[in-house]
Structure 1
Amino acid sequence: MKTTLIIGASPRSSSYANMAMHALDSAGHPTLLYNPLGRQIDDRKVFTALNEIEDDIDTITLYVRPSRLEAIVQDLIQLKPKRIIFNPGTEDPELMQKFADANTDVLEACTLVLLRTNQY
């Protein structure tokens, strides 16, 4: 299985990022968590700086609004993900184009729906 990086990881069980983390884990997809606040999530490591990540990242799934992404776009691109998923509420045409220009497959989709429909 290929590693997924969750941007905007949250300890709140009602958050979509948290639901996606559990759904990805249940489906056997390894996940890494990023949140600059570094809150503890289920006894798992939460990265607070993207340059700390040494794993190969297949997919990045986004759970933060575009204004929060702008500051980390170049750091995300440097991780060389194969694809990035802009979940509902995270879409931004300019940011999407930056990833496309970096040869990253860009999806405007819902990670949870992709998992439930075996399209992940």
Structure 2
Amino acid sequence: MKTLILGATPNPERFAYLAADRLTRYGHEIVNVGIKSGSVAGVDILSGQPALEDIDTVTLYLGPRHQAPYYDWLLNLAPRRIIFNPGTENPELARLARARGIETEVACTLVMLGSGTY
């Protein structure tokens, strides 16, 4: 099962970078999407809204004011769940996701991985 990291960055000081690194170390397949080029955890960062399949989880590292252009794309990916990491909480997107049967969690991916609840 794949995890889409929206807001991926090659900056090792950012939580999105740490999440990509840790997800791969825990054996999860990742897809990085962000506005900065580069790679994280050996996976290139894709730009825009690429065609993707079999996304189980979306973990957000993009603030709410930047999420609206991605709503339709994210919802059409039909992930099982969307994780709203600290600072990405968005009641509107959460409501739209739940209306499509997508589970939403306000949580920290890093904490979830560390505690075995991912």
Q: Deviations over 1:40-92 (max 9, x none)?
A: 12453222132332x30000000010011011111000101000000000001
Structure 2 unaligned residues grouped into runs of 5+: none
For 1:44 and 1:81, how far apart are their aligned partners in 2? 20
Give the one of 73, 76, 80 matched to 2:74. Answer: 76
**Aligned residue type for 1:74:** D
Matched residues, percent identical? 35
- The residue number in structure 2 matching 1:18 is 17
Higher strand fraction (1 or 2)? 2
TM-score of the aligned structures, taking structure 1 as reference length: 0.92
- The residue number in structure 2 matching 1:113 is 111
| Mapping of residues 1-120 of structure 1, within 5 Å | 2-35=1-34, 37-42=35-40, 44-53=43-52, 55-120=53-118
**Aligned residue type for 1:118:** G
For 2:46 and 2:93, how far apart are their aligned partners in 1? 22
Structure 1 residues 40, 8: closer, same or farther in 2, change over 3 A? Answer: same
For 2:75 and 2:4, how far apart are their aligned partners in 1? 12
Aligned length: 117
Across the aligned residues of Structure 1 and Structure 2, the Cα RMSD in angstroms comes to 1.2
